[in-house]
Amino acid sequence: MKKAFALFLALVLSMSLMTACGSKKEETPAAAPEGGETSGEALPGEGMKIALVCDKVGTQVFLTQMVDALNEAAEKYGFEPTVAECADSAAFEDNMRALVAEDYDLIIGGGWQAGDAINKLANEYPDAADYALIDSEVEAENVKCISYREQEGAYLIGMLAALTTDGESHMYGAVHVNEGPGSWKWRYGYMEGVKSIDPDAQFVFNYTASYSDPAKAKELAIQQYEQGCVFINSAAAGGDSGTFEAAKEKGFYTSGQDVDLTDPNNPYIVTSQIKDTYQTVWNLIDEYFSDNYSVENSVWGVTEGTIGAVYVTHETENPRSERLTDDEIAQVKDAAAKIASGELNLADYPSEEEYFAG
């Protein structure tokens, strides 16, 4: 039975795991001395294995950034990197079970889709591996959950929105996925950022109730434009393309979410709020190989380099909108520096009820 089980695990692993490759090599391990001889000093991760378990990577920048960071961290620390791509929810659990059986040292869940599986495996095999989950939280106390202070990036987007409109309108729109408590920090940060420039601002929020409904997002964005919104923040996940299409048709300004969605073919996308999963994986692995690693949950933002905005904290090859001057970008960069230093504290924010009651 043991032999059959081992053969089964080997088969599962060979079918489900893709060994990561292709590093940019921005960070490299110590070079070997001339003549090809090694120094004899082992890298801290030699003999160890770290896996990223995530959705199908494809061209999803949110995921390709994680893969790049894993590969490059492997160059620095010497561990064996593996990426296990999952086509459906069942594959997450199957892949993680195979990784546990293969004695992986650290298993990283790349996104909320990995949450249920990593929570289950961490409870079943608490001592078999270390576990971490990016951009979601689970109940298992032995899973290091990493979440973000998205309100900090939203604040920068709000400032850019007000500077882009430049008094043309005091109405600001936003098309988001839902109105739940989890989205409040985005709305709060956006409104506070706008009001730091335009204290007379008023806001219109609408919700697609879906992560993939461009048609609905476009419809809502056009409605907001017709109500006088010159800038409409889009945080509608897969629906963002609908907002962008409406912006190009109607001539209002907008912003993307999570990754750089600025587009030289659409000058109305003036910026994007960034959730930097590349830096997130680097931070996690650097911490893992330090003396300070713990399974306590982490919340990262501008200070840690994981949250920001295009043209402010993160650069792009795409041209900047003519609506934003160098001085205005410098103004927003100054605010980002104050957030990073703690001078501008957005970590503690009121509930939605408290905000509007006050």
Q: What is the pLDDT of residues 52-94, one digit of tens each?
A: 999 999 988 999 999 999 999 999 999 999 999 999 999 999 9
Examine residue 207 and state whether it is found in any structural domain, yes or no: yes
pLDDT, average across residues 3-20 = 42
Domain boundary among 102, 129, 148: 148
Check: pTM over 0.95? Answer yes or no. no
Same domain, 117 and 181: no
Q: What is the pLDDT of residues 244-256, one digit of tens each?
A: 999 999 999 999 9
Same domain, 174 and 269: yes
What pLDDT is stored for residue 40 in this prediction? Answer: 60
Same domain, 144 and 187: no
What pLDDT is stored for residue 2 in this prediction? Answer: 36
Lowest-pLDDT range of 23-27, 43-47, 90-94, 340-344: 23-27
pLDDT at residue 7 is higher than 70? no
Question: Residue 252 to residues 100, 109, 123, 247: CA-CA distances in angstroms?
Answer: 51, 38, 49, 5
CB-based contact 299:147 (threshold 8 Å): yes
What amino acid is encoded at 226 in this protein? E
User: Could you give the CA distance from residue 261 to residue 316 in angstroms, rounded to a whole number?
Assistant: 10
pLDDT, average across residues 131-145 = 97
pLDDT, average across residues 1-14 = 41
Same domain, 96 and 154: no
What amino acid is encoded at 225 in this protein? Y
What pLDDT is stored for residue 215 in this prediction? Answer: 97
What pLDDT is stored for residue 39 in this prediction? Answer: 53
What pLDDT is stored for residue 14 in this prediction? Answer: 44
Same domain, 168 and 266: yes
Q: What is the pLDDT of residues 305-354, one digit of tens each?
A: 999 999 999 999 999 999 999 999 999 999 999 999 999 999 999 999 99
Same domain, 238 and 207: yes
Q: What is the pLDDT of residues 196-248, one digit of tens each?
A: 999 999 999 999 999 899 999 999 999 999 999 999 999 998 999 999 999 99
What pLDDT is stored for residue 298 in this prediction? Answer: 97
Instruction: Read off the CATH number of the domain in which 21 is found.
Output: 3.40.50.2300
Q: What is the pLDDT of residues 159-204, one digit of tens each?
A: 999 999 999 999 999 999 999 888 999 999 999 999 999 999 999 9
Examine residue 293 and state whether it is found in any structural domain, yes or no: no
Examine residue 280 and state whether it is found in any structural domain, yes or no: no
pLDDT, average across residues 253-262 = 95
Examine residue 289 and state whether it is found in any structural domain, yes or no: no
Q: Quick one: which of 334, 18, 46 has its CA closest to 196? A: 334
Same domain, 14 and 52: yes
Examine residue 123 and state whether it is found in any structural domain, yes or no: yes
Domain boundary among 100, 132, 148: 148
User: Could you give the CA distance from residue 232 to residue 334 in angstroms, rounded to a whole number?
Assistant: 24
Same domain, 61 and 73: yes
Domain boundary among 148, 169, 195: 148
Same domain, 253 and 109: no
Q: Identify the domain containing residue 140 by its residue range.
A: 2-27+44-148
Same domain, 114 and 160: no
User: Could you give the CA distance from residue 328 to residue 332 in angstroms, rounded to a whole number?
Assistant: 6
Same domain, 120 and 234: no
Examine residue 65 and state whether it is found in any structural domain, yes or no: yes
Same domain, 320 and 232: yes
Strand pairing category for 269-275 and 307-309: antiparallel
What pLDDT is stored for residue 335 in this prediction? Answer: 98
pLDDT at residue 12 is higher than 50? no
Q: Quick one: which of 172, 153, 151, 176 has its CA closest to 163? A: 172
Examine residue 67 and state whether it is found in any structural domain, yes or no: yes
* Structural domains of the chain, count: 2
Q: Express as a percent the part of the chain with pLDDT over 90.
A: 84
Examine residue 116 and state whether it is found in any structural domain, yes or no: yes
